[in-house]
Amino acid sequence: MAIIVDENTKLIVQGITGKEGRFHTKLMLDYGTKIVAGVTPGKGGTDVFGIPVYDSVEEAKNAHPEANTSIIFVPARFAADAVYEAIDAGIKTIVVITEHIPVHDAMKFVNYGKSKGVTIIGPNCPGVITPGKAKVGIMPGHIFTPGHVGIVSRSGTLTYEIAYAMTKAGIGQSTAVGIGGDPVIGTSFIEALQMFEEDPETEAIVMVGEIGGDMEERAAKMIEEGKITKPAVAFIAGRTAPPGKRMGHAGAIIMMGTGTAEGKIKALESVGVKVAKTPMEIPDLLKQVLKK
């Protein structure tokens, strides 16, 4: 089954005629993702790689009622409107690749999406991949392989590094979700964990966290309460980050003594989650927990 995207994903690419949109559309097509339409205002009636382009998501949805997912490659100042447009057109899964979206814009469209029962991944994320079935994002598809370990990550680059190490070690992935590095995101760490918990194809979970916020501590609480029962391992980035200084992502900042790598590691280890010191240790830790 996997989570969020699979062989039943029918994708609309918003911003398909832009440089990034066009580039990643080709890679998603090559991977086997079913892209049914593109959207760029003013470019309706044209096509990209044989994919019809429409002026609005509503027009695309009317022409392709099977469309159920959208990926957004729209510049930050227009990205919120693009999300609203997709939600109002009835799209139920939206992956927002765009970075530098103002926090107040993200807060509004995330809340609106939740009120409409829409799954939003991102913003400022690499997307979602279910190996061998669909890639809705910008990750290098060739490093992933089908399997039974889910990945939820706050870092795109670390997702790739860990997935590649897993693949080399013969450990495949059910789905890898890059939830995004901004302070406000559509799908949280714990929401993704709950999806993996409910997915029969996922046997174990890799959590890739980083400094800032309390998502990893809340994940530990869910494990403690028995809401997440599948074996999990983790890596937390930012062990040497100085307090008060943002490192990498907008959400990766230690404030008032909270959000430290040490605190997150302690919380996870206290509920039995093995935490790797380096990303390369993840495959060995997975082999340990999968034997139990």
Catalytic residues: 249
Best CA proximity match to 71, nearest among 154, 3, 1, 129: 129
Residue 131 token pair: 């190996």
CA distance 164 to 176: 12
Bridging pattern class, strands 146-153 and 173-178: parallel
